[in-house]
Amino acid sequence: MIDAHDLVKHFGPTRAVDGISFSAQKGEVVALLGPNGAGKSTTMRMLTGCLEPDSGSAAIAGHDAVRARHAAQSALGYLPEGAPAYPAMTPRAFARFHLRVRGFTGKALHEAAELALERARMGEAANRPIGMLSKGFKRRAALAAAIAHDPAVLILDEPTDGLDPNQKDGVRALIRMMAPEKTILISTHLLDEVEAICTRAILITGGRIVSDTTPAGLISTAPDQSLAGAFRQLTRHSAEQTTARPARSRKETPA
């Protein structure tokens, strides 16, 4: 359902993503882990068709993210970083807007919007302008819009960022509830989140995958048998480098 094939992206001299390949299937909840600047968001933006790779390709539900962007995005719900939404719209209007541009009308639109707002636990905040909401509610408004059309694939960039512990639990429960019917990719810095909801953890550093295994498999690589220990061990090298990585030709890239 999600396919990344040798994705590469540079920003000027910075090699943000350097040959990322993986596939994820229905029922998987995959965590994309890595230090700040590892290339997680850039990878997600390429998977969602929001950013074109320099080379390599991505596909969602079998549709190329660039050449068949419309079909790929129809099967996709994407929660980008931050809380991108129109501040003057209410979360209810924002969810309905998302559905309308995807071709929903009438009863189907109404029911899908209400279900998404309920699942995102918007409550009364669903009727207040997004610009007046707290960070957590803004995030949930964007989440409601992302899940409203019941897509087969969800790509969620730090879905619990800015949420209080109760709200975090709510979003994690929602992800667990949706998981059996969907393919879900999340990025997170919260290692307890990986253990709580993910079936697989892909660790990237310096734009490359350094580990792709189950959370338990990742833990087993650490001297102290913890996810934090595994994370530190596998990302230590990049932490010692500056975030700016000079561009290199693919020929220089170690195998």
Report the interface residues with ligand ATP, using CB under 6 A.
11, 14, 16, 34, 36-42, 243
Smaller CB separation from ligand ATP, 20 or 117? 20
Smaller CB separation from ligand ATP, 36 or 166? 36
Residue 171 CB, nearest approach to ligand ATP (Å): 18
200 within 8 A of 24, measured Cβ to Cβ: yes
Quote the crossing angle between the two packed helices 106-119 and 91-101, to the nearest 10°: 130
The DSSP-derived string for the chain is -EEEEEEEEEETTEEEEEEEEEEE-TT-EEEEE-STTSSHHHHHHHHTTSS--SEEEEEETTEETTTTHHHHHHTEEEE-SS--S-TTS-HHHHHHHHHHHTT--HHHHHHHHHHHHHHTT-GGGGGS-GGGS-HHHHHHHHHHHHHTT--SEEEEESTTTT--HHHHHHHHHHHHHHGGGSEEEEE-S-HHHHHHH-SEEEEEETTEEEEEE-HHHHHHTSTTSSHHHHHHHHHHHHHTS-S------GGGS--
Smaller CB separation from ligand ATP, 7 or 148? 7
Residue 204 CB, nearest approach to ligand ATP (Å): 7
Nearest-angstrom CA–CA distance, 205 and 72: 27
Residue 89 CB, nearest approach to ligand ATP (Å): 26
Smaller CB separation from ligand ATP, 34 or 91? 34
Residue 69 CB, nearest approach to ligand ATP (Å): 19
Residue 9 CB, nearest approach to ligand ATP (Å): 8
Residue 132 CB, nearest approach to ligand ATP (Å): 26
Smaller CB separation from ligand ATP, 142 or 148? 142
Residue 232 CB, nearest approach to ligand ATP (Å): 15
Smaller CB separation from ligand ATP, 42 or 90? 42
Smaller CB separation from ligand ATP, 34 or 53? 34
